[in-house]
Amino acid sequence: MIVSILRLLRCTKGNAALEMGIIFPIFVTLIVGVSQYGLAIFQFMEVGYAAQVGANYALNNGFNAANIQTAVTSATALSTITAPTPTLACFCASATGLSTATCGAVCASGGTATSYVTVQSSATYSPVLPGIPSPMTGQAVVRMP
């Protein structure tokens, strides 16, 4: 009896299977984590790109809220992307920064108030692993000519 137990303890058959059984769950967890964070970064870039497309549309075609929203939602293949209504605001530049002004008004510096369009986009993301924010948001601001 003792001889058969000693023989069993010295046997090395199956070591590779045992090691694979220990390493495989760790390996799968790493692969899933890397792929989830990679997909999240891709989606974050797509959301930012969609906001930039909307700002570019406003710069080239003028301010039209509905058309800017269409440009944002059409800029990417993400099905969950949304675009809140873009905003048009006017500011006067000074040494301390920008101050809100009425569009077309004369600023204290003598120039006219400049128009800025702010375009936002967002998309929801449902990761398998925790730690990824949802919804993801993007914003682009463009100075109108």
What is the per-residue pLDDT for 139? Answer: 96
Residue burial 92-121, b: 16+ Cβ < 10 Å; e: rest: beeeeeeeebeeeeebeeeeebbbbbbbbb
Residue 21 bridge partners (DSSP) = none
* Tens digits of residue pLDDT in 57-114: 999 999 999 999 999 999 999 889 999 999 999 999 888 888 899 988 898 888 899 9
Rounded Cα distance between 38 and 49, Å, is 17
The answer on pLDDT for 14 being more than 90 is: no
Higher pLDDT, 15 or 112: 112
Rounded Cα distance between 37 and 35, Å, is 6
- Domain total in the chain: 1
- 4, part of any domain: no
- 96, part of any domain: yes
Domain that includes residue 105, residue range: 14-143
Q: How many CA atoms lie within 13 A of 22 on its CB side?
A: 5
Say what the pTM is: 0.78
- 95, part of any domain: yes
- 3, part of any domain: no
